[in-house]
Amino acid sequence: MDHFKAKTVAYKGSKRKLLNNILQLTQEVNATTVFDGFSGTGIVSAMLRSNGYEVHSNDLNHSSYIYGKVFLEGFDMPVVSEHLEIMNGLEPHSGWLTENYSGTVMRKVRAKEGLHIRTLGLLEQNAMKIDSARNYIEKLSGVSERNKNALIFSVILGLDSVFNNSNDQKSSLKEWSAKSLKIVTFKPPTLIEGKKGKQFQGDIFSLSLEKDFDVVYLDPPYTHGVLYASSYHINDSLAIWDKPQLDDDYAIPRPARACFRHKKAGSFYSKKTVEMDFHQLMDKFSFKRMILSYSDAPRNTTNLDALSEIASNFGNTKIYSVEHKICTQYTTQNKRSEKLKEFFVVIDR
């Protein structure tokens, strides 16, 4: 595959760099249909669709639903471009985003005495432009759902391009970065060609699939501290646009749906239940090949050996490690090099 390019948001655990490996593993089993169970940025689904597969996908989060809908169902470029031109020229107006996520605030900072000045993520001018653009989409009538989704994706991409952060929306940088000082512009998402697919939104365990898939690709979360609903809560709020009340007790204020201080984090995040969760997950599908992504990280709730053992209950299991872009077969005899970070647990039936 030539280097596949599709615009999408910055995301912890995005598999953008592993697309060639995922494609190769999919091609090996003569598949025509793929299910992407934890679609995140939508980049894996988009790549597979553009390579001719019929792709159905799912994710828990609202913003991921938008990315997947746009990548798998497409949109009308002339209609979307026309609206984006209007959105780029709108008068900036202060609204929910500007009031809550622009300028600076005095706040407590971990391990420091007193109050300190910190940015809230967006320049006021950018927040106002995004407020105006998102309100414009909300008021549109006579525009199809898929074109509205593409416009919402454009607004999220716009925010992502100027948000003053390093890699999530839980905090923002002390000083305004070069990217955050640029003026936001709204550009169309990447239009993917191929068989039309479907995107679902929900807990994977509650999802009832309409059919079986040749390949099931699973990239669930299992790292303490990486809760996607709180890491990308502003993208979710832009997707839903319900302008919720926020809890100011966080470095970047969050809506209740992104606050987990007194709530359980969900499946895969507890060491006590993670193995049961993976067992239940693998048991859920019929497939020719299941591909499970595993990234080695210090705060994981499980490890490769445990996953490999669970997988062996469901078919013929192999583990591949990805190093320097080459996919080589992993064996437990291999000394686990520090460089080995990305793995695929592959189950064949």
Partners of 328 in the β-ladder: 321
Query: In the set 33, 57, 64, 165, which binds ligand SAM (CB under 6 A)?
Result: 64
Query: In the set 75, 153, 228, 278, which binds ligand SAM (CB under 6 A)?
Result: 228
Least distance CB 198 / ligand SAM (angstroms): 15
Nearer to ligand SAM, 84 or 281 (CB): 281
Query: In the set 6, 23, 48, 59, which binds ligand SAM (CB under 6 A)?
Result: 59
Least distance CB 44 / ligand SAM (angstroms): 5
- DSSP SS3 for 303: coil
Query: In the set 92, 95, 194, 266, which binds ligand SAM (CB under 6 A)?
Result: 266
For 142, residues 6+ apart whose C-beta sits below 8 A from its C-beta are none
35 binds ligand SAM (CB under 6 A): no
* CB-facing half-sphere around the CA of 45: CA atoms within 13 A: 34
For residues 208-227, which are near ligand SAM according to CB under 6 A?
Answer: 219-221
Partners of 56 in the β-ladder: 35, 198
Radius of gyration from C-alpha coordinates of the chain? 21
Nearer to ligand SAM, 43 or 347 (CB): 43
Query: In the set 4, 11, 35, 278, which binds ligand SAM (CB under 6 A)?
Result: 11
Nearer to ligand SAM, 205 or 334 (CB): 205
Q: Where are the alpha helices (DSSP H) in the chain?
A: 19-27, 43-50, 62-73, 77-89, 96-101, 124-139, 145-162, 228-231, 233-240, 274-283, 304-311
Least distance CB 64 / ligand SAM (angstroms): 5
For residues 143-202, which are near ligand SAM according to CB under 6 A?
Answer: none
43 binds ligand SAM (CB under 6 A): yes
Nearer to ligand SAM, 11 or 163 (CB): 11
Query: In the set 40, 188, 197, 244, which binds ligand SAM (CB under 6 A)?
Result: 40
Query: In the set 13, 74, 188, 244, which binds ligand SAM (CB under 6 A)?
Result: 13
For 176, residues 6+ apart whose C-beta sits below 8 A from its C-beta are 119, 123, 164
Nearer to ligand SAM, 154 or 267 (CB): 267
Nearer to ligand SAM, 59 or 214 (CB): 59
Nearer to ligand SAM, 90 or 226 (CB): 226
60 binds ligand SAM (CB under 6 A): yes
- Strand 326-330 to strand 316-323: parallel, antiparallel, or no bridges (unpaired)? antiparallel
204 binds ligand SAM (CB under 6 A): yes
Distance in angstroms (rounded) separating the CA atoms of residues 49 and 43 = 10
Please give the order of strands across the beta sheet that includes 215-218. Answer: 198-201, 54-59, 33-36, 215-218, 289-295, 342-348, 316-323, 326-330
Helix, strand, coil share of the chain (percent; to 5): 35, 15, 45
- Strand 316-323 to strand 198-201: parallel, antiparallel, or no bridges (unpaired)? unpaired
Nearer to ligand SAM, 15 or 118 (CB): 15
Residue ranges of E strands in the chain: 33-36, 54-59, 104-108, 115-119, 198-201, 215-218, 289-295, 316-323, 326-330, 342-348
Cβ distance 164 to 252 under 8 Å?
no
Query: In the set 26, 50, 61, 98, which binds ligand SAM (CB under 6 A)?
Result: 61
Amino acid making up residue 307:
L
Nearer to ligand SAM, 194 or 266 (CB): 266
Q: Using CB under 6 A as the criterion, which residues of the chain lie in contact with ligand SAM when the complex forms?
A: 11, 13-15, 38-41, 43-44, 58-61, 64, 203-204, 219-221, 228, 266-267
